[in-house]
């Protein structure tokens, strides 16, 4: 039976769905309606066009073999008809029609199945001025004026509002190729507030600072004044002057069409769909950045506008429409972003989010080698695990370091989605060879640290204040001198000597034990506790703390 | 209750077990007996000492903070007593004693629990001469004479026997730093025969050849003649002359002590243990390279001497001995090795092994980008998936390319161990950002390829002969010219034009469709099949085939 499928939006989800549906059902008539005339480009690559890592916008719109993905391509190769420059203005779910305005006037199209892939649009600041010097960063059209301004030397100082994924990518783009002065302004207390806890975010902040980005956190923008001579961003009493302002405070689902057609929205404001991506209206489906999905850890609906999910949703939906079944599973929200020379990746819940979701959540921190410690290119990897105190269920992971941070989160994501206890993460198998990994996988070691925590070997957060604790430094003298603990007095006994010198410790005090990465200190805590001495250790060690508190790396 | 635990072998498994056991049970008396006086070094790093990536052997024996892991270290920090230079000569499992010969004569030690961590020893060739120019490569003592010979210029030509993990690492070590002429001699038909199918092994072979290694496969060594002036290795009628020969044909479990004590060995010849690492004799346990374990895919016992597993076994066994429970799970055999500038990784079964284990196994191949295709540092990633024809259960994965190959196999390993269908691999979540991954994870795309195969979109192996198939090249003209199919005549219709030119194809023929990576060709096969034309495509595309057949990359 031939069917007519209309897809609204030539986005990742819409086009992926349409193309696969044609492969599965070559006789069906598949039409994609798209408001713009330029589409099917990898929007995630836009910051890298600005940075110069990618030469031209055309590359983002081309296949791996260099063919431009335009209307002709989709017609001849993918069997999909795209109506460019056609804005859908209304849907009649009863009559199975839609109306669109195109370059030649209004058109009406009938459909048997309708797919909404309307995507998302950038959030704007309240009262954001409509001025060429102030723009969001979301589409192809946002790149050109910025790049031109940089090339012509008209933009030397940039204020980026929002230290989310895009804001950080933009800060890097402006800074690395163009050497612009960049102020990165974030309303929340730290960068990537939805994705990271303060301890990991502080490492991101340290790398931004090391690269010369002026990071201002906890400073909501109060107003922007744009004129011919420049822009002033007012926040927390300060006035940040710049030649251009880019607002990157996230996106909101584009649901106007869905709402006007009576399609139910969910709690997040995005289109509500079931596991088969069906909306509340029969024969109307939705996929991509306009929908909300279920979080694998909390079970709550979330709006998670990630290109990886949109592509998967489009593909799954094609199978569902073709009658092959399928479902879109809950998501852990795995993500990664390059922060200049470092990488940060995360999945699942932050400690804050886990507690807000009702878990009795705890966190542990560790610093370790991303490869065999003797491998010359080995680098520090910082991991935070979030887990439930009672069940020890793994709830979240955050990783900062080399590109191996991505591997750690990719692997942990497979377990996060399954709701397993941290001990299962400790049992994982990994590819071991000195150039790629240590003999024990870093995520497995993090799971051991969580298990130790459950057994009473507790960590203090890398940023916390030790309060009244006495401080025991178990490092070698050279390490202590190179990266000293300066805020309070310390007792120094290297872990190599500790067994024989326990009598030197005041048994009535509570001790905070510290070392470079946390490993030795945790062992020392176990030793002290076995002798009845109260102790905890500095999670992530002095390396984490010093970098997070601004000492560089 | 204080217990006495004796551990035979200061290996990764033995020391990891002993150290953790002390942490869990500080009052227990833990003694490790070790034949050698130098131990607790990362043996996996030895080839990289030879290559110069690592400066000195001491680095392999040091902690991450630079303390040498010697007897004093283990005593003071780990609470473990090591009897160096003590060779255990007999065990009395009834009397719970063992006898060892040490520097000061024989000692007898009583134990409540005994751990065998006797490791493995290198295999020798039949009739392997005992000559300084001919050696295995297994310990600290094997590195020094080779490195000295290289430094003094006495070794300019090396024959490495065995193209396994160590053989490949050695070939790289001799070649990159020292520029030695290296002949790599393998009895099997291709390198890494236990770990790879011929299609992926051919890529390894191509990289070895590109780096100037002379690879001789299918050539069992018939004899080695060593003299003062040099060595001659005779294989398959050829005589390979060299200044030194290194035999790296694998290891066998060291089980002499266990056997003499009446402890049961398994089918592989290694010590048989249950999931709790208990041997057949009560209170005697075993861990590390001397035991056999269960393969997660086949369910069969395997001897899998990997440092990552030995470390995990030692840790798990400590928990079991301390009464905390635990088990060692089945293994998928995840592994990776650096091959000069490339990486190869694998887990689960090869196609050959899967069929031998009774599966109706099939394989698919694909070439894809390891990162967003427009990312400037993006590189080709070659993947082979092995799966069951009926159930579509994932049975194995092999990956060749950049370091991202490790990530692909690490993620797939988590699913392999769970016995899931390939479709679950297609549903995985991954960290997506252009510098790290494409929007669809490469392993997920490989799963789609396997699903397509099940739906009739079949691939021909990258190395196979098309037989009587007509060949249809769907690439752009420039691609066709740059990397032509030369063995038979081709019809050339770019995929962009194929829809309108299907009438040009002989409908009575069977077609082999090819493109650069397999993606377009697979789409074309679907198109042809929908029109009733018999077709299959070249798996992995011309990039894979040309590299595998010797065209370089």
DSSP state string for B369-381: ESS-TTSTT--EE
Pick the residue of B308, B318, B323, B366 with the most A CBs within 10 A to test the interface with A by mutation. B308
Structure token pair of residue A376? 């010359």
Whether A323 contacts chain B with CB within 8 A:
no
Helix, strand, coil % (nearest 5) of chain B? 30, 30, 40
Domain that holds residue A488: 459-551
Average pLDDT for B104-133: 96
Tell me whether residues A413 and B430 touch, CB distance under 8 A.
Answer: yes
Q: Are residues B256 and B116 in the same domain?
A: yes
Is A26 in contact with B444 (Cβ distance < 8 A)? no
| CA atoms of B97 and B111, how far apart (whole Å) | 6
Phi and psi at B513, nearest 5°, equal: -100, 135
Tell which B residues from 202 to 231 touch A, by Cβ distance under 8 Å.
none
CA gap B72, B75 in Å, rounded: 5
Burial letters for B117-141: b for 16+ Cβ neighbours within 10 Å, e otherwise?
bbbbbbeebeebeeeebbbbbbebe
What is the distance in angstroms between the Cα of B441 and the nearest Cα belonging to chain A? 8
Taking CB atoms and an 8 Å limit, are B526 and A23 in contact across chains? yes
Q: Is the pLDDT of residue B417 over 80?
A: yes
Q: How far is CA A513 from CA A118, A473, A533, A546, in A?
A: 54, 6, 12, 15
Residue B128 falls inside a structural domain? no
Specify whether A350 is located in the same domain as A436.
yes
Q: Do B23 and A523 touch (CB under 8 A)?
A: yes
Query: Which site among A428, A433, A441, A475 would you substitute to test the B interface, given the most B Cβ atoms closer than 10 Å to its Cβ?
Result: A433
Q: Label residue B499 exposed, middle or buried (CB < 10 Å: 0-12, 13-18, 19+).
A: middle
Is residue B276 domain-shared with residue B207, that is, in the same domain?
no
- Whether the complex's predicted ipTM is more than 0.90 is answered with yes
Tokens of B460: 């021909």
A337 touching chain B per CB within 8 A: yes
Are the C-beta atoms of B84 and B100 separated by less than 8 Å? no
Q: What is the DSSP letter of B421?
A: B
Distance from CA of B239 to the nearest CA of A (A): 33
- 493-522 of A, contacting B, C-beta below 8 A: 495-500, 515-517, 519-520
pLDDT < 50 positions in chain A? 552-553
Residue B234 and residue B164 share a domain: yes
| Contact indicator for A198, A189 with CB cutoff of 8 Å | yes
Whether residue B171 lies within 8 A of chain A, CB to CB, comes out as no
Give dist(CA B367, CA B380) in Å, integer. Answer: 6
- pLDDT given at position B552: 44
pLDDT, position A184: 98
Residues of A (461-480) whose Cβ lies below 8 Å from B:
475-476, 479
CA dihedral B81, B87, B89, B90 (to 10 degrees): 20
* Closest Cα in chain B to A63: B373
Within this chain, do residues A73 and A181 fall inside the same structural domain, yes or no? no
Kindly list the strands in the beta sheet with A271-272, ordered across the sheet, starting from the edge strand earlier in the chain. Answer: A271-272, A291-294, A301-302
Residue B335 lies in a domain: no
Strand pairing category for A394-401 and A342-348: antiparallel
List b or e across A371-390, with b for residues whose CB sees 16 or more CB atoms inside 10 angstroms.
bbbbbeebbbbbbbbbbbee
Instruction: Give A311→chain B minimum CA distance, Å.
Output: 7
Across the interface, whether the CB atoms of A372 and B42 are under 8 A apart is answered yes
- pLDDT at residue A553, as a whole number: 40
Q: Do A92 and A111 contact (CB within 8 A), yes or no?
A: no
Full DSSP string of A285-299: EE-STTEEEEBTTT-
Please tell me the predicted confidence (pLDDT) of residue A51: 87
Judge whether B328 lies within some domain: no
Task: Indicate if B402 and B361 belong to the same structural domain.
Answer: yes
Q: Which residues of B touch A173 (CB under 8 A)?
A: none
**Across residues B100-123, what is the average pLDDT?**
97
Asked if residue B173 has pLDDT above 60, the reply is yes
Q: Which of residues 130-159 of B touch A (CB under 8 A)?
A: none
Which 3 state secondary structure label does DSSP give B476? coil
Domain CATH code at residue A228: 3.50.50.60
Q: Is the pLDDT of residue B172 over 50?
A: yes
pLDDT tens for B17-37 read 999 999 999 999 999 999 999
What DSSP line would sit under B118-169, residue for residue?
--EEE---TT---BTTEEE--SHHHHHHHHHHHHTT---EEEEE--SHHHHH
Q: List own/partner pairs for A275-281 with CB under 8 A and 24 or more apart.
A: A275/A327, A275/A328, A275/A329, A276/A320, A276/A326, A276/A327, A276/A328, A277/A313, A277/A316, A277/A317, A277/A320, A277/A328, A279/A116, A281/A93
Tell me what the mean pLDDT of segment B341-348 comes to. Answer: 98
Give the nearest partner residue to B500 out of A42, A76, A523, using CB atoms: A76
* Residue A99 forms part of a structural domain: yes
Contact A64 B496 (CB under 8 A): no
Interface check for B373 against chain A (CB to CB < 8 A): the answer is: yes
**Domain end residue (candidates: A406, A439, A454):** A454
Q: Per-residue pLDDT for B9 more than 60?
A: yes
User: Does residue B336 sit within a domain?
Assistant: no
Nearest CA-CA partner of A548 in A203, A211, A215: A203
With an 8 Å Cβ cutoff, are A434 and B48 in contact? yes
Query: Quick one: average pLDDT of B428-435?
Result: 96
Residues B99 and B111: beta-carbon distance below 8 Å:
no
Q: How many CB atoms lie within 10 A of CB A437?
A: 25
Residues of A in contact with B77 (CB under 8 A): 495-496, 498-499, 523
B311 touches A: beta carbon within 8 Å: yes
The C-alpha atoms of residue A495 and residue B73 are separated, in whole angstroms, by: 10
Does residue B516 contact residue B475 with C-beta atoms inside 8 Å?
yes
pLDDT for B487 beyond 90: no
Residue B501 belongs to a domain: yes
Please check whether residues B92 and B190 belong to one and the same domain: no
CB contact under 8 A, A414 and B415: yes
> Is residue A396 located within the same domain as residue A492?
no
How is chain A split among helix, strand and coil, in percent rounded to 5?
A: 30, 30, 40
* pLDDT value of residue B52: 85
Tokens 């939006």 map to which residue? A9
Q: Does B60 touch chain A (CB under 8 A)?
A: yes
**Other residues' Cβ atoms within 10 Å of the Cβ of residue B179:** 11
Which tens digits make up the pLDDT trace of B215-270? Answer: 999 999 999 999 999 999 999 889 999 999 999 999 999 999 999 999 999 999 99
- Residues B177-203 pLDDT 10s: 889 999 999 999 999 999 999 999 999
pTM for the model stands at: 0.96
Q: How far apart are CA B513 and CA B502, in angstroms?
A: 13
Please check the confidence at residue B112 and state whether its pLDDT lies above 50: yes
Q: Where a domain ends, among A428, A454, A480?
A: A454
Interface contact B176, partner A, CB < 8 A? no
Inter-residue contact A441 to A449 (CB < 8 Å): no
Q: How far, in Å, CA of B319 to CA of B10, rounded?
A: 18
Q: Please state, in angstroms and rounded to a whole number, the distance separating the CA atoms of residues A196 and A159.
A: 22
- Its sign, for the CA torsion A483, A484, A490, A491, is positive
- Which ranges of B343-494 would DSSP assign to H, the alpha helix? 351-356, 404-416, 422-426, 442-454, 477-482
* Residue found under tokens 């980026």: A160
- Which is nearest to A439 in space by CA: B7, B306, B345? B306
- Sorting pLDDT into bands at 50, 70 and 90, what band is B132? very high
For chain B, the distance separating the N- and C-terminal CA atoms, rounded to the nearest angstrom, is: 64
On chain A, the residues whose CB falls within 8 A of the CB of B331 are: 429
Q: Has residue A45 been placed in a domain? A: yes
Total domain count, chain A:
4
Nearest CA in chain A to B338: A435
pLDDT of residue A189: 97
Tell me, yes or no, if B106 comes closer than 8 A to chain A by beta carbon. no
The answer to whether A430 contacts B410, with C-beta atoms less than 8 Å apart, is: yes
Mean pLDDT (whole number) for B267-288: 98
Give the CATH number of the domain where residue A468 resides: 3.40.250.10
What is residue B105's DSSP assignment? E
One domain for residues A112 and A257: yes
Which residue on chain A is closest to B521 by alpha carbon? Answer: A77
Closest CA to B138 of B58, B43, B62, B55: B43
**CA distances in angstroms from A473 to A446, A483, A500, B77, listed in the order given:** 22, 11, 15, 15
Q: Which residue among B376, B406, B520 sits closest to A436, beta carbon to beta carbon?
A: B406
CB of B30 within 8 Å of any CB in chain A?
Answer: no
Same domain, B464 and B448: no
Determine contact: A67 vs chain B, CB below 8 A: yes
State whether A431 and A465 are in the same domain: no
Are B216 and B235 in contact, with CB atoms under 8 Å apart? Answer: yes
pLDDT bracket for residue B551 (50, 70, 90): low
Q: Do B374 and A62 touch (CB under 8 A)?
A: yes
In order, the DSSP letters of B271-313 are: EE--TT-B-SSTTEEE-STTEEEEBTTT--EE----HHHHHHH
Instruction: Classify residue A64 by its DSSP letter.
Output: T
Which of A203, A226, A249 is the last residue in one of the domains?
A: A249
Query: Based on the domain organization, do A446 and A476 belong to the same domain?
Result: no
In a domain, A413, yes or no: yes
Q: Using alpha carbons, select from B347, B354, B270, B259 the residue that is nearest to residue B313.
A: B270
> By the 8 A CB rule, do B306 and B164 touch?
no
B433 → closest Cβ in A44, A67, A479 = A44
pLDDT recorded at residue A551 = 55
B467: alpha, beta or left? (left if phi > 0; alpha if psi -120 to 50) = left
CA end-to-end distance (rounded Å), chain A: 64
């Amino acid at each position: 039976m031939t069917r007519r499928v209309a897809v609204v939006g030539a986005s990742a989800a819409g086009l992926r769905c349409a193309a696969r549906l044609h492969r599965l059902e070559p006789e069906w008539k598949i039409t994609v309606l798209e408001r713009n005339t330029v589409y099917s480009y990898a929007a995630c690559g836009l910051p890298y066009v600005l940075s110069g890592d990618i030469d031209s916008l055309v590359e983002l719109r081309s296949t791996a073999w260099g063919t431009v993905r335009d209307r002709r391509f989709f017609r001849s190769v993918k069997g999909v008809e795209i109506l460019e420059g056609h804005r859908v203005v209304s849907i009649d779910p009863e009559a199975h029609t839609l109306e669109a305005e195109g370059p030649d006037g209004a058109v009406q199209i009938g459909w048997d199945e309708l797919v909404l892939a309307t995507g998302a649009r950038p959030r704007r600041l309240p009262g954001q001025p409509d001025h060429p010097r102030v723009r969001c960063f979301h589409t192809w059209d946002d790149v050109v004026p910025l790049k031109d301004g940089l090339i012509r030397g008209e933009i030397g100082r940039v204020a980026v509002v929002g230290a989310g994924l895009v804001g950080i990518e933009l800060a890097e783009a402006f800074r690395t190729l163009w050497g612009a002065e960049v102020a990165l302004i974030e309303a929340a207390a730290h960068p990537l507030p939805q994705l990271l806890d303060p301890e990991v975010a502080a490492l991101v902040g340290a790398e931004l600072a090391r690269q010369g980005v002026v990071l201002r956190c906890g400073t909501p923008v109060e107003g922007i004044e744009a004129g011919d001579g420049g822009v002033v961003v007012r926040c927390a009493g300060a006035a940040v002057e710049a030649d251009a302002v880019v607002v990157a405070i996230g996106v909101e689902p584009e649901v106007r069409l869905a709402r006007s057609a009576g399609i139910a929205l969910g709690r997040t404001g995005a289109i509500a769909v079931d596991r088969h991506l069906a909306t509340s209206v029969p024969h109307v489906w939705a996929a991509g950045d306009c929908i909300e999905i279920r979080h694998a850890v909390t079970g709550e609906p979330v709006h998670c506008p990630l290109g990886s999910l949109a592509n998967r949703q489009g593909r799954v939906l094609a199978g569902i429409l073709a009658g092959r079944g399928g479902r879109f599973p809950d998501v852990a929200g795995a993500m990664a972003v390059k922060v200049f020379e470092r990488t940060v990746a995360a999945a699942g819940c932050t400690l804050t989010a886990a507690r807000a979701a009702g878990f009795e959540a705890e966190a542990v921190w560790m610093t370790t080698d991303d490869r065999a410690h003797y491998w010359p290119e080995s680098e520090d990897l910082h991991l935070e695990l979030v887990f439930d105190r009672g069940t020890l269920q793994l709830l979240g992971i955050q990783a900062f370091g080399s590109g191996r941070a991505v591997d750690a989160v990719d692997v942990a994501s497979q377990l996060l989605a399954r709701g397993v206890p941290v001990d299962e993460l400790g049992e994982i198998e990994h590819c071991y060879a000195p150039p790629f990994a240590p003999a024990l996988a870093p995520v497995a070691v993090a799971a051991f640290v969580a298990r130790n925590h459950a057994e009473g070997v507790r960590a203090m957060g890398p940023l916390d204040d030790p309060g009244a604790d006495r401080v025991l430094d178990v490092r070698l003298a050279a390490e202590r001198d190179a990266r000293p603990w300066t805020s309070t007095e310390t007792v120094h006994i290297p872990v190599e000597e500790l067994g024989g010198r326990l009598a030197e410790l005041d048994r009535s005090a509570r001790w905070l034990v510290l070392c470079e990465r946390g490993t030795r200190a945790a062992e020392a805590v176990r030793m002290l506790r076995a002798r009845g001495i109260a102790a905890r250790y500095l999670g992530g060690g002095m390396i984490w703390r010093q970098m997070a508190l601004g000492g560089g790396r």
